[in-house]
Structure 1
Amino acid sequence: MGDLVGWILLGLVAGAIARKVIPGEEKGGCLLTIVLGIIGAVVGGWIGRNVGFLPPDPNPGDWLPSLGSVVTATVGAMIVLLLWKWLRK
């Protein structure tokens, strides 16, 4: 249960930061921000592990994300948000 809470919190934070950084108006609410942030966290985590920025095996007992996880999740959320905007055009 703690992991789920951690993913939701990380998704909310990453999605909110990505929305503030990427210009333009989005009409989606908090739920869309969380979903895009969680997808971005998965994308960013995959990228972060493959380039060596994140450890290959995170500690599954930690539900509070690390700073590296927040950074990679935010970058991933920005990528997902840009793709979302591009696909909606």
Structure 2
Amino acid sequence: MSFIWMIIVGLVAGLLARAIKPGSDPMGWIMTIVLGIVGAMLGGFIASLLGISADGGFTGLVFSVIGAIILLFAYEFIMNKRRV
């Protein structure tokens, strides 16, 4: 997978995760892309644990979004702990 393609998929996965998860997450475009890329890595790991091939296509995008949503919940939890 090329670097440009990874950024595009990361952006799409990050945007979808932020649209699906309720609440406001004040982060810019760069953090959304990073969220999507790291979410794709986490989603790929989860898919491999389940024995599902998520190398690309729709399945890969679904697991990328699932990973990004998990990361959004973790990010929100960490940021709320710091504010208190």
Identity of aligned residues (%): 35
Q: What's the counterpart of residue 32 of structure 1?
A: 31
- The Cα of 1:6 is off from its aligned counterpart by 1.8
Q: What's the counterpart of residue 85 of structure 1?
A: 76
Q: Which runs of 5+ in 2 are unaligned?
A: none
Question: Is 2:75 aligned against 1:76?
Answer: no
Q: Which runs of 5+ in 1 are unaligned?
A: 59-64
Divergent runs of 4+, >4 A: none
**Greater relative CO (CA pairs within 8 A, separation 6+):** 1
When normalised by structure 2's length, the TM-score is 0.87
When normalised by structure 1's length, the TM-score is 0.83
What amino acid sits opposite 2:63 in the alignment?
Answer: T
Q: Choose between structure 1 and 2: higher helix proportion.
A: 2
The number of equivalent residue pairs is 80
What is the alpha-carbon root mean square deviation over aligned residues?
1.3
Question: Is 2:33 aligned against 1:18?
Answer: no
- The Cα of 1:75 is off from its aligned counterpart by 0.2
Choose from 52, 58, 63 the match for 1:67: 58
